[in-house]
Amino acid sequence: MAVTDLAKSRDFYRDAVGLVVTEETDDTVYMRGLEEAAHHSLVLEQSDTAQARRVGLRVRSDDDIRLAEKFFSDNNIEHQRVERAYQGATLQFRDPVGTLMELTSEMAVAPRRMQRYDEFKSGAPQRIDHFQVVTYDVRKATDFWTGLGMRMSEYTAEDGTDELWGSWMEIKGNTHDLVFTNGRGPRLHHFAFAVPDATSLIHAADVVGALGFGNEIDRGPGRHGISNALFLYLRDPDQHRVELFNTHYQFIDLETPPIRWDVTDPRRAQLWGMPASRRWFFEASEFPDEPVREPLLTANPDTLEDYLGIH
């Protein structure tokens, strides 16, 4: 993530969110969850402009990187090998809807902090869980990623049809690792860290409020219908959105079909409580040098402002 005040962002993610600082330089901070041995799962980079620079995924080996290069070359997908600190073979590419991605096969390790309970702060995030991207063409994004091996666990569709408005896809047996939802895109809606339990979300909200960031609670605490997860969304000093997340179910049985939700069913996003605000639905972080396109499907969700009659 590109941030405009590196120290302020570091402090937010360390003290208000609860991530571990692995290492920092004059222009970069590397962070991770408490149970993560990988050197980093969040990179903050100093910049004049706040942006989402890349979404990173892990592959198992250098052979997978080579296979990805061949696949991208055969299918005319823009890609390049790059050198990234603390990472092994790393391949950057642009998916068919403009999401800027990065694959790596290896990373330096650091001691896990999962049993250093004396060091737990705020929500005590344990590990990176998933990313959600806003896209102008959910079907195109879904076809590409399921073609690479991801499996759809849940989806939203136009009432009475299978016209995709959102797709939740997984590769590691939980409900989702990569999500695409309909809207102006490509933009990164949020990235999420799993926390130990439900009380961690409440404690995080208390800590965020005590540190003076109460207005940056973007949504929740609440429970999603999709994934059945408890959630708390926060906005960082540059308005990038991070989610703290818990209690989603396993999706490991190959014969299990994806769960379908009507796009008009409010329970898909919130099983209890009021709907999200307009900014939650319509604001997101742009990728550098990637034009934002209007969605193929018209998005007009019911917002908190609609619910309260605010114009």
Please report whether residue 40 resides in a domain: yes
Please report whether residue 171 resides in a domain: yes
Please report whether residue 309 resides in a domain: no
311 pLDDT band, cuts 50/70/90, is: low
Provide the domain count of the chain: 1
Q: Could you tell me which of 15, 31, 264 has the C-alpha nearest to residue 119? A: 15
Please check the confidence at residue 269 and state whether its pLDDT lies above 80.
yes
Please check the confidence at residue 283 and state whether its pLDDT lies above 90.
yes
Please report whether residue 93 resides in a domain: yes
> For residue 13, what pLDDT is reported?
98
Range of the domain at 186: 2-107+123-298
Please report whether residue 227 resides in a domain: yes
Please report whether residue 255 resides in a domain: yes
> For residue 310, what pLDDT is reported?
78
Share of the chain above pLDDT 70, in %: 99
- Under a CB-based contact definition with an 8 Å cutoff, are residues 268 and 226 in contact? yes
Please check the confidence at residue 211 and state whether its pLDDT lies above 90.
yes
Share of the chain above pLDDT 90, in %: 89
> For residue 171, what pLDDT is reported?
94
> For residue 266, what pLDDT is reported?
87
* pLDDT tens for each residue of 212-265: 999 999 999 999 999 999 999 999 999 999 999 999 999 998 899 999 999 888
Amino acid at 224: H
* pLDDT tens for each residue of 82-92: 999 999 999 99
309 pLDDT band, cuts 50/70/90, is: confident
297 pLDDT band, cuts 50/70/90, is: confident
* pLDDT tens for each residue of 127-165: 999 999 999 999 999 999 999 999 999 999 988 888 999
Please report whether residue 30 resides in a domain: yes
CATH (domain of 88): 3.10.180.10
Mean pLDDT of the chain: 95
> For residue 102, what pLDDT is reported?
98
Residue range 180-209: mean pLDDT, rounded: 97
The residue ranking higher by pLDDT, 310 or 295, is 295
Please report whether residue 310 resides in a domain: no
